[in-house]
Amino acid sequence: MMQLWPQLLLSLAEKVLADIIAMDQEAKPRLKRLAGKQFAFQLQELKLRVVLTATDSTILLNQHQEPVDCAIQTDLASLKRLRDPNQLTQLIKQDAVQVEGDLQVAQQFSGFFQQLQPDWSGKLASYLGDGMAHKVEVSLKQMTRVIASKAQQLDQLSTELLQDELQLTPHPLEVEQFSVDVSRLQAKVDRLQQQLTALQE
Partner 1 sequence: MSDSKAKTTDFGFKTVAEDEKVSLVADVFHSVAAKYDVMNDLMSFGIHRLWKRFTIDCSAVRPGQSVLDLAGGTGDLTALFSKRVGPTGKVVLADINASMLNVGRDKLRDQGLVDNIDYVQANAEALPFADNSFDIITIGFGLRNVTNKSAALASMFRVLKPGGRLLVLEFSKPESELLSKAYDLYSFKLLPKMGQLIANDPDSYQYLAESIRMHPDQETLKQMMEQVGFAEVSYHNLTGGIVALHRGYKF
Residues in CB range of 86: below 8 A, 6 or more apart: none
Return the ∠ at Cα 8 (arms to 7 and 11), rounded to 5°: 80
Which residue in the set 8, 161, 180, 182 belongs to the binding site for partner 1 (CB under 8 A)?
8
Position 12 contacts partner 1 (CB under 8 A): no
Q: How many CB atoms are located within 10 Å of the residue 53 CB?
A: 18
Of 2 and 199, the one with the shorter C-beta distance to partner 1 is 2
Q: What is the rounded distance in angstroms from the CA atom of residue 63 to the CA atom of residue 79?
A: 19
Percent helix, strand, coil in the chain (nearest 5)? 65, 15, 20
Terminal-residue alpha carbon distance, the chain: 66
Of 4 and 198, the one with the shorter C-beta distance to partner 1 is 4
Of 3 and 153, the one with the shorter C-beta distance to partner 1 is 3
Of 3 and 197, the one with the shorter C-beta distance to partner 1 is 3
Of 52 and 96, the one with the shorter C-beta distance to partner 1 is 52
Contact string (CB under 8 A) for partner 1, positions 44-73, x = contact: ---------x-xx---x-xxx-xxx-----
- Tell me the closest approach of the beta carbon of residue 148 to partner 1, in angstroms: 33
CA atoms within 13 A on the CB side of 156: 5
Q: What is the rounded distance in angstroms from the CA atom of residue 33 to the CA atom of residue 36?
A: 9
Position 35 contacts partner 1 (CB under 8 A): yes
Position 34 contacts partner 1 (CB under 8 A): no
H or E segment at 101? strand 97-101
Which residue in the set 25, 26, 36, 166 belongs to the binding site for partner 1 (CB under 8 A)?
36
Which residue in the set 11, 114, 152, 156 belongs to the binding site for partner 1 (CB under 8 A)?
11
Residues that bind partner 1 (CB under 8 A): 1, 3-4, 6-8, 10-11, 35-38, 53, 55-56, 60, 62-64, 66-68
